[in-house]
Structure 1
């Protein structure tokens, strides 16, 4: 969720908003405010924490692979490892797939796999006894790796992560390790859409999905009615409208980004192709003068103050209002408290209505990373504010009632000292007799 003060001061964002008509501008501003801007420090820090934490449960070494586009033929990806030509195929090779390798000779650009590969290299140098950097079959056998992890920034449609898993699954030795329970698969992503997570989880290797934050989308951030308005807005201002193969009248079509994602997340290292096209596409028609906010999916032009997922007092207040907790949002107990205390009130307000056991929904409503949310839930359980089913106990409900009561007391507080009497003004008069 974008800070309103940052949006007001960012000249590039204001110039982009001015391209909309006056009637559509408030809707476009609301859509932009729903974006999550992830800084580089947030990305690296939370991903490292998640990888190290989850690796503690693995009895053996973990093979890390940066997700990237792989070569394919007729939609089938090439095998990740080489195999012998004998009757019994066996994977071989000391080196695994390259962490960064363009699949098109005419386009040597590097995507998000660059920053992910750098993070993997740092982790493997720091914890050589636990992590392996893109190992080949020979190294997997020699080091006895017990986990195959694909690391990425975002699971949007899930297509690329599935292709990477499929490339490994096509290797007979890998399937043998999996069937013998010698290796398990997982995809470690900073964020993921619901549809993308379901797609990847349905792969034959049954990978586990671990994320830091759920990916906000148009459907998850707005009500059904407002989401339809946002989709119509994205379609109406699609700069690629009229190009071959494009159907501008379809709301869930290409206007919402690759895979009909409608994602609302941007990283400091770039914007994904799952966000609506009007944010990163320019019009090829000279008659349509449209300047995207993230040209060619480059996000470096946005003010660095816009990036960061840490909750501020303004963000907590906005999320409480979105939850319908208006009195709690105006409470002195929330407004005057420090951020950790305000986060506890935010989680308590979120748990006051179902669903309570869905971590994805709770993280989406609160804006907290999943591991921080889990820590807060454990803390509130130890305080006796929630039970095992995350329902508010009498003590937890009392905390919310006390916070709301502080608003009432503050509103009705009497001033100290001599007060001038307010003049009397009659509000109704009757006709004299």
Structure 2
């Protein structure tokens, strides 16, 4: 368990709201939340963008996923189309990197953090990247790749809405129709995402390529079905009066970023309904009264991974266990794909891939990620080492019978 978080004063006050019988389940739920620091988020998203930049023709067009305005349930077009017979999109600038302020005290969410990263990333690569270009720039520079960037794919509806806004433009559909030769292609890049949301974006009619660094863990992907039912029931009972106890679209995501916690996370962490003292009020993770920073050191991350993998000895905090053994332990139950292990542990997909390759070299797993006999032996030794060995009680004194029986057959 991530004891660094559990020892925080704010976490203790949050746990005190639960009934005594529910407190251990609440501790387990909190200890297995994946925390992403600002440095990890920035470096991870930048690395993803560098990989995608080198993966195809250049230059590329980068767009920040911001909320699109709708009219009668349909998102407004991404580019301007003149009112004439030939609907040819025009304009040198595309959608703003940041939503325009239309009211006093209008809030800026994660799109502000992503916008800053995109700006920094583009400054030294201006010949290869256009930041939110319009149709005229796209034609002028012969841009053939539309890359939408976001921090998190939850339900996938927001990303699909942005793609719908582009798809409504006739010129965009015309460029896309020539994708087999030199046409337009769509991509979505996100630091993390839920499997259901990623699948939703991939089903969009523009057939985008979706790339994420981390598959976000959920209650059902991290815990066994019996444990998951207990924790989901806990989220439904605390706090009362919440419309979506498991988060938006029942995501039940166990992840938090340095800039915010997604609304797909269980409401027990961020809701303030009926006087509930939230751990991350209004989904904010910054401030002196948040346990976020308490769980970002290497030891705390290693503790969380060990607990998520289900290692008995590690949950007791008795020994340091390598990342290879943690991934090996997570392979004890299906599914065993890279995405499944990433979602189970909240670990980088690239890191999971590298560890799986190392486990194959050690002959601890097969090519299909099944644990071999050698791998089972490693886990058995680890489990035996963590279990206490009970010795029989011995009495150093002499033995004296307390009752006598008559001899038989004498």
TM-score (norm 2): 0.85
SS of 2:95's equivalent in the other structure is coil
Change (3 A) 1:407 1:15: closer
For the pair 1:389 / 2:368, whether they are aligned, the reply is yes
> Paired residue for 1:305?
294
Segments of structure 2 that go 5 or more residues without pairing to the other structure are 406-410
For the pair 1:290 / 2:298, whether they are aligned, the reply is no
Change (3 A) 1:54 1:111: same
SS of 1:190's equivalent in the other structure is strand
Alignment of 1:225-304 (within 5 A): 225-239=226-240, 241=241, 254-283=244-273, 288-301=274-287, 302-303=290-291, 304=293
Which string of whole-angstrom CA distances, capped at 9 and with x for unpartnered residues, describes residues 238-263 of structure 1?
A: 35x1xxxxxx6xxxx52222222222
For the pair 1:355 / 2:335, whether they are aligned, the reply is yes
Alignment of 1:152-191 (within 5 A): 152-181=150-179, 182-191=183-192
Kept in 2: contact 1:148–1:184 (CA 8 A): yes
Alignment of 1:54-73 (within 5 A): 54-73=52-71
Change (3 A) 1:66 1:282: same
Distance in 2, matches of 1:412 and 1:233, equals 31
For the pair 1:376 / 2:355, whether they are aligned, the reply is yes
Change (3 A) 1:427 1:136: farther
Which string of whole-angstrom CA distances, capped at 9 and with x for unpartnered residues, describes residues 372-425 of structure 1?
A: 2222334444566555433456xxx43663575588699999xxxxxxxx7536
Distance in 2, matches of 1:412 and 1:291, equals 39
Q: Per-residue deviation at 1:95?
A: 0.8
Distance in 2, matches of 1:162 and 1:359, equals 25
Distance in 2, matches of 1:409 and 1:224, equals 27
> Paired residue for 1:418?
none
> Paired residue for 1:245?
none
Aligned residues: 396
Kept in 2: contact 1:65–1:149 (CA 8 A): yes
Segments of structure 1 that go 5 or more residues without pairing to the other structure are 242-247, 414-421
Which string of whole-angstrom CA distances, capped at 9 and with x for unpartnered residues, describes residues 334-382 of structure 1?
A: x456xxxx112223334455433x2211212343201122223344445
> Paired residue for 2:346?
367
For the pair 1:209 / 2:185, whether they are aligned, the reply is no
Kept in 2: contact 1:55–1:62 (CA 8 A): yes
Distance in 1, matches of 2:206 and 2:382, equals 54
Which string of whole-angstrom CA distances, capped at 9 and with x for unpartnered residues, describes residues 15-46 of structure 1?
A: 11112222222222222122111110111111
SS of 2:275's equivalent in the other structure is coil
Root-mean-square deviation (Å): 3.2
TM-score (norm 1): 0.81
Kept in 1: contact 2:217–2:346 (CA 8 A): no
For the pair 1:318 / 2:307, whether they are aligned, the reply is yes
Distance in 2, matches of 1:259 and 1:411, equals 41
For the pair 1:52 / 2:19, whether they are aligned, the reply is no
Which string of whole-angstrom CA distances, capped at 9 and with x for unpartnered residues, describes residues 197-236 of structure 1?
A: 1211111001121111112222222333333332332232
Distance in 2, matches of 1:350 and 1:55, equals 33
Q: Per-residue deviation at 1:112?
A: 0.3
Could you say which structure has the greater relative contact order, defined with CA pairs below 8 angstroms and 6 or more residues apart? 2
Change (3 A) 1:224 1:423: closer
Change (3 A) 1:381 1:57: farther
Kept in 1: contact 2:69–2:75 (CA 8 A): yes
For the pair 1:343 / 2:305, whether they are aligned, the reply is no
SS of 2:196's equivalent in the other structure is helix
1:141 to 131, 139, 154: 139
> Paired residue for 2:408?
none
Which string of whole-angstrom CA distances, capped at 9 and with x for unpartnered residues, describes residues 51-92 of structure 1?
A: 111221112222111111111111100000111222221111
Change (3 A) 1:212 1:425: farther
Kept in 2: contact 1:363–1:370 (CA 8 A): yes
Kept in 2: contact 1:102–1:110 (CA 8 A): no
Change (3 A) 1:363 1:74: same
Distance in 1, matches of 2:349 and 2:211, equals 9
